[in-house]
């Protein structure tokens, strides 16, 4: 006998799951959401997007106070770091966000089933000794940090992002394994707060998958800020002792091993789907070779009435991607036509300057055999960026050589994560570079660099 029955039970209350629950409730369905953490919001709000951005913001202010403000004629006395206060502020930011989701659940009459959920059979979900009946189950259980053989995480000296957000002292030397998004964001935080930071990356480049020219320029800027990079290098072991951690490294393609010592090691080599204990195999739900729940283009698994979204399925592991899928699956369940345009999902690295991208890279266009034009404009030629004293980076737009349609955009620069929105919308609306070039952009604004890059696609940038 079921304790209670629902139209939809969502398992996992991250950005995919909680947004799905709210949208399904908006559509008049009776909805429950199962979450095993003590708070709602998933990885993103508790130990991901939000706490990392809080520390990025605070550490950026610290580094401005230490140096950059002097160029504006602002002199300060000795600048001190109260890390405990910085961490407490981060916790307050997280608390405000997670309790916001609890409020939204109440407002939308979504029932929060507290505990770990398991699919007990078709249309049945078990949560800590109780069982609930439902017409639809949405799996939104997210992801977890990828382990590395020979590197045992203790979340004190050898940490994942979760421990890396909680350090109570600035490490003398932080070694980051993996030059991806987490490594560069958290590497930047601790570098700004005073740590020496070495980033060890297996490949011969940073942020794989990003436009290669843009990634090279980004690496140069981060190196100027003091991040040291060891590319084409693999870590084969890390041993924590009383005085720190000793890592064994080797050239990626073989060669002599060497040792590196660190006070703290951050393991950030990617994330893997989190589906343990969910009863997927027993329920007959198929997974792919990387453990991701297999779905069709409408987020349906191979078992009728079971759907999946977010980090635990294919695609970029991003909060806004999970959210879009949450909305789409709720609408599909309600008989509507939910859809996600994967061509127009932005990706942002929230360092300073930020790196923001959407759509195709040059490498992808070459591989597809698509003829394209490039328009580039540097922030050194943008009046507002000069006034801000933040001229690192550029806007790069890739447009179809024949139709002028925008196919991709890559920005390094101040507030690139906000600037990219214009180009995401352009791609969503299938706009041409000419459309942006002929649109009035406020002066003096950073967005003028986007307009100038669009003009540059046709070789007619005005300010360079
Ligand atoms: P999750 O957010 O992982 O949520 C899944 C939830 O399901 C979890 O709360 C988990 O406890 C729960 N759960 C799992 N199994 C069960 C079960 N059996 N029963 C009950 N509950 C269960 N993305 C961005 O777009 N921007 C960023 O700036 C950004 N920063 C990040 C920084 C860090 C340090 C990390 C680690 C990630 C970051 N991400 C960022 C990625 C982002 O957090 C994820 O893409 C996003 O959280 C995925 O959402 P989700 O709903 O699929 O899963
Ligand atoms: P990632 O996939 O971004 O980067 C992992 C890096 O580690 C890659 O460069 C990879 O080549 C490298 N690597 C893999 N194995 C290695 C090894 N054995 N030795 C050395 N290097 C190795 O993964 P990351 O940074 O862990 O982030 C996980 C996910 O979280 C990402 O998918 C990202 O989308 C998401 N995230 C998003 C953020 C944002 O949107 N701002 C912020 C933080 C995380």
State which of 176, 178, 179 you would mutate to test the pocket of ligand 2, scoring each by most atoms of that ligand within 8 A of its C-beta.
178
pLDDT score at 243: 86
Q: Does residue 443 have an active-site annotation?
A: yes
pLDDT score at 255: 94
Which residue, judged by its Cα, is nearest atom 40 of ligand 2? 348
CATH architecture for residues 344-457: 2-Layer Sandwich (3.30)
Topology at the third CATH level for domain 158-269: FAD/NAD(P)-binding domain (3.50.50)
Burial degree of 418 (CB within 10 A; 0-12, 13-18, 19+): middle
- Residues written for the chain: 464
- The reply to whether 4-144+272-340 and 344-457 are identical in fold is no
Q: Largest Cα–Cα distance in the chain?
A: 72
Task: Say yes or no: CB of residue 11 within 6 Å of ligand 1.
Answer: yes
Ligand 1 centre to CA of 14 (Å) is 5
State which of 11, 12, 140 you would mutate to test the pocket of ligand 1, scoring each by most atoms of that ligand within 8 A of its C-beta.
12
Summarised one tens digit per residue, pLDDT across range 34-77 is 999 999 999 999 999 999 999 999 999 999 999 999 999 999 99
Summarised one tens digit per residue, pLDDT across range 333-360 is 999 999 999 999 999 999 999 999 999 9
Residues of the chain with pLDDT under 50: none
Which residue has tokens 């407002």? 107
Given a contact cutoff of 8 angstroms between Cβ atoms, the answer to whether 275 and 306 are in contact is no
Domain boundaries, the chain: 4-144+272-340, 158-269, 344-457
Cα(164)–Cα(189) distance, integer angstroms? 10
CB atoms within 10 A of CB 429: 11
CATH architecture for residues 4-144+272-340: 3-Layer(bba) Sandwich (3.50)
pTM across the whole model: 0.98
Task: Say yes or no: CB of residue 316 within 6 Å of ligand 1.
Answer: no
pLDDT score at 1: 62
Task: Choose among 142, 175, 453, 207: nearest CA to 354.
Answer: 207
pLDDT score at 272: 98
pLDDT score at 242: 86
> Which position among 173, 337, 339, 443 bears the catalytic label?
443
pLDDT score at 249: 98
Task: Say yes or no: CB of residue 349 within 6 Å of ligand 2.
Answer: yes
């Amino acid at each position: 006998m079921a304790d209670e029955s629902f139209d939809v039970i969502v398992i996992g209350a991250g950005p995919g799951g909680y947004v799905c629950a709210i949208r399904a409730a908006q559509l008049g369905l009776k909805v429950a959401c199962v979450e095993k953490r003590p708070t709602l919001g998933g990885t993103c709000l508790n130990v991901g997007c939000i706490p990392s951005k809080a520390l990025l913001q605070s550490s950026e202010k610290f580094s401005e106070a230490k140096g950059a403000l002097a160029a504006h004629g602002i002199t300060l006395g000795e600048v001190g770091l109260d890390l405990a206060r910085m961490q407490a502020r981060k916790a307050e930011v997280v608390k405000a966000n997670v309790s916001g989701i609890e409020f939204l659940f109440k407002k939308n009459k979504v029932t929060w089933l507290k505990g770990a959920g398991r699919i007990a059979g078709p249309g049945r979900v078990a949560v800590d000794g109780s069982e609930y009946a439902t017409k639809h189950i949405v799996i939104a259980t997210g992801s977890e940090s990828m382990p590395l053989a020979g590197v045992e995480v203790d979340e004190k000296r050898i940490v994942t992002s979760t421990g890396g957000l909680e350090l109570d002292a600035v490490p003398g030397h932080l070694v980051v394994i993996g030059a991806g998004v987490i490594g560069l964001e958290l590497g930047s935080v601790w570098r700004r707060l005073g740590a020496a930071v070495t980033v060890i990356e297996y490949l011969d480049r940073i942020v794989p998958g990003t436009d290669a020219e843009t990634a090279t320029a980004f690496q140069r800027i981060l190196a100027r800020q003091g991040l040291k990079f060891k590319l084409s290098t693999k870590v084969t072991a890390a041993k924590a002792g009383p005085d720190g951690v000793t890592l064994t490294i080797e050239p990626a393609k073989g060669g002599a091993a060497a040792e590196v010592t660190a006070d703290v090691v951050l393991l950030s080599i990617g994330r893997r789907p989190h589906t343990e204990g969910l009863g997927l195999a027993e329920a007959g739900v198929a997974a792919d070779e990387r453990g991701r729940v297999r779905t069709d283009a409408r987020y349906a698994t191979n078992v009728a009435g079971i759907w999946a979204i977010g980090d635990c399925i294919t695609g970029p592991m991003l909060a806004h991607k999970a959210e879009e899928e949450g909305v789409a699956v709720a609408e599909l369940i309600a008989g509507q036509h939910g859809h996600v345009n994967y061509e127009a999902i932005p990706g942002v690295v929230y360092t300073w300057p930020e790196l923001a991208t959407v759509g195709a890279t040059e490498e992808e266009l070459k591989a597809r055999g698509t003829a394209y034009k490039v328009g580039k404009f540097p922030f050194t030629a943008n009046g507002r960026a000069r006034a801000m004293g933040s001229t690192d980076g550029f806007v790069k737009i890739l447009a179809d050589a024949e139709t002028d349609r925008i196919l991709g955009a890559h920005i390094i620069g101040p507030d690139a994560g906000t600037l990219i929105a214009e180009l995401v919308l352009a791609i969503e609306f299938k706009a041409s570079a000419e459309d942006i070039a002929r649109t009035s952009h406020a002066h003096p604004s950073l967005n003028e660099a986007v307009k100038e890059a669009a003009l540059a696609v046709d070789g007619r940038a005005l300010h360079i």
